[in-house]
Amino acid sequence: MITIVDEALEHFSAREALLDLGFGEDRHLKTCERLRAGRIPVFAYVALDEAGKLAGTVRLWSVQDEGGQSSLLLGPLAVASEFRGRGVGDRLMRHALNQASTHGHGSVILVGDPAYYERFGFSSGKLERVILPGPFEQHRFLFLDLRPGHIRGLQGALVAAGTVDVKQSLGPEKSFPFVAKTT
């Protein structure tokens, strides 16, 4: 049985190892990482099996455009290889999107595989006026309106928003993966 819980400090090492396996140790060089670096996620969830082993992880981060319009940036979503094909990623996504909607957020954006994310309602297009801080493939730049039409207001260069992780300067082992549930 898989349980989804808020990410906590005891999940940090397993989460980092999972992300290194899934995305490579150079994952910190990706464009979306520039929007996550030094920030605390708005939402951070992990999936655990009955023994407490990390099965998957997902985070949502606050970003905003040049005019101050905000959205959530989803990522990374990762599932441990031994749990793939068992609906863990699906459950994590649906939980994260439900929480984002429940807390009044207007939209979610991500850079990812359209074939995977379309089943959750994500689509491409309507983001032609939005720029990420680095290279990315436009056809993988996806959005989901949680409030109809919210994404149409987003334009220009996206920047990191939300709570700064002041503990990050102490090193990742001292940085608590706190979840700032703000609306």
Q: Residue 78's closest CA among 2, 3, 142, 16?
A: 16
In angstroms, the Cα distances linking 35 to 54, 82, 90, 158 are: 25, 30, 24, 8
Q: Which pLDDT tens digit goes with each residue over 44-76? A: 999 999 999 999 999 999 999 999 999 999 999
Other C-beta atoms closer than 10 Å to the C-beta of 3 total: 12
Domains of the chain (ranges, CATH numbers): 3-162 (3.40.630.30)
Q: Which pLDDT tens digit goes with each residue over 136-167? A: 999 999 999 999 999 999 999 999 999 998 76
pLDDT, residue 26, reads 73
Amino acid at 76: P
Confidence of residue 23 (pLDDT cuts 50, 70, 90): confident
What is the average per-residue pLDDT within 28-52?
91
Residue 20 in contact with residue 48, Cβ under 8 Å?
A: no
pLDDT, residue 144, reads 97
CA–chain centroid gap for 123, Å, is 16
pLDDT, residue 89, reads 97
What is the average per-residue pLDDT within 98-125?
96
Alpha helices by DSSP H, the chain: 12-23, 31-36, 88-102, 114-117
115 has a pLDDT exceeding 60: yes
Tokens 């997902």 belong to 58
pLDDT, residue 171, reads 47
40 has a pLDDT exceeding 90: yes
97 has a pLDDT exceeding 60: yes
